[in-house]
Amino acid sequence: MPTLYTMPGTCSLAPNIAVAWLDAPVTVRNMAYGDHRKDAYLAINPKGKVPALRFEDGDVLTEAAAILAWLGAAHGSEGYARDTALGRKEAEALSYMTSEVHADFAPHFAAQTFADDEAAQDAVKKKAYGKIDAHYRRLDETLAANGDWYLGKRSFADAYLYVLTRWCDQTPMAIGDYPALAAHRARMEGNGGVRAALARQDMEPLHG
């Protein structure tokens, strides 16, 4: 059975939720923070990031959107990563969320990789928060137009969106300023699969 490597608090929660939703035969191995920089894990993913999915033959797939696409193709039904209108939109949404929104969190998580002195780091972070706010507004509008789920029907985009909205509380932004996102976050936490994924990644729901 393939192994999905995760770490608390990280975007690896999205494929972990997908595994729960699909009831896919995948072992989730939650590492302690810091283990992603140790030799044992670097031998699996030399990029030193989670998630990574290791197959029984030793082949390794990295990048959350690619792992979600594989999970949908191998174990999904209906729209998940399929050649349907929902599947196509799901791929688009996941590309946007990983390559644009997540990427704009980089100065928040690792300002020291953008500038050396503290004042410059603060300036870089401030710019990033402006971009993240614009993303949250766009995501909020899309969700408000589509209903309970980001694409109108539940998809892996909801799993990734939940990761992104959990991070809101670490920023100067308030989730209450994005009402559709706030309701979506609470809705996700009412879901048994999401709760199971949180528990195996050593994380708590934010809404109790």
Ligand X SMILES: N[C@@H](CCC(=O)N[C@@H](CS)C(=O)NCC(=O)O)C(=O)O
Q: Where are the alpha helices (DSSP H) in the chain?
A: 13-22, 39-42, 64-75, 85-96, 103-104, 106-109, 118-146, 156-166, 179-189, 192-200
Closest to ligand X by CB, 40 vs 119, is 40
The rounded Cα 206 to chain-centroid distance in angstroms is 16
Closest CB 181 distance from ligand X, rounded Å: 18
Q: How far apart are the first and last CA of the chain?
A: 33
- Interacting residues toward ligand X by CB under 6 A: 10-11, 36, 48-51, 63-64, 98
Closer of 74 and 85 to ligand X (Cβ):
74
Return d(Cα 117, Cα 157) in angstroms, integer: 37
User: 27 pairs with which residues across the strands?
Assistant: 3
Task: Choose between 25 and 48: whose C-beta lies nearer to ligand X.
Answer: 48
CA distance 136 to 117: 28
In whole angstroms, how close is the CB of 186 to ligand X at the nearest point? 22
Rounded distance between C-alpha atoms, residue 96 and residue 103, angstroms? 10
Which amino acid, residue 82?
A: R
Q: Six-digit token pair at 208? A: 């109790």
128/180 with CB nearer ligand X = 128
Nearer to ligand X, 20 or 67 (CB): 67
CB of 161 to ligand X, least distance (A): 14
State how far the Cα of 116 lies from the Cα of 27, in Å rounded to an integer. Answer: 40
Q: Is 9 left (phi over 0), alpha (psi -120 to 50) or beta?
A: left
Q: In whole angstroms, how close is the CB of 101 to ligand X at the nearest point? A: 11
Measured distance CA(80)–CA(76) in Å, rounded: 6
Least CB distance to ligand X at residue 164 (A): 10
- For residue 144, the minimal CB distance to ligand X (Å) is 26
Which residue number, 94 or 181, has a Cβ lying nearer to ligand X? 94
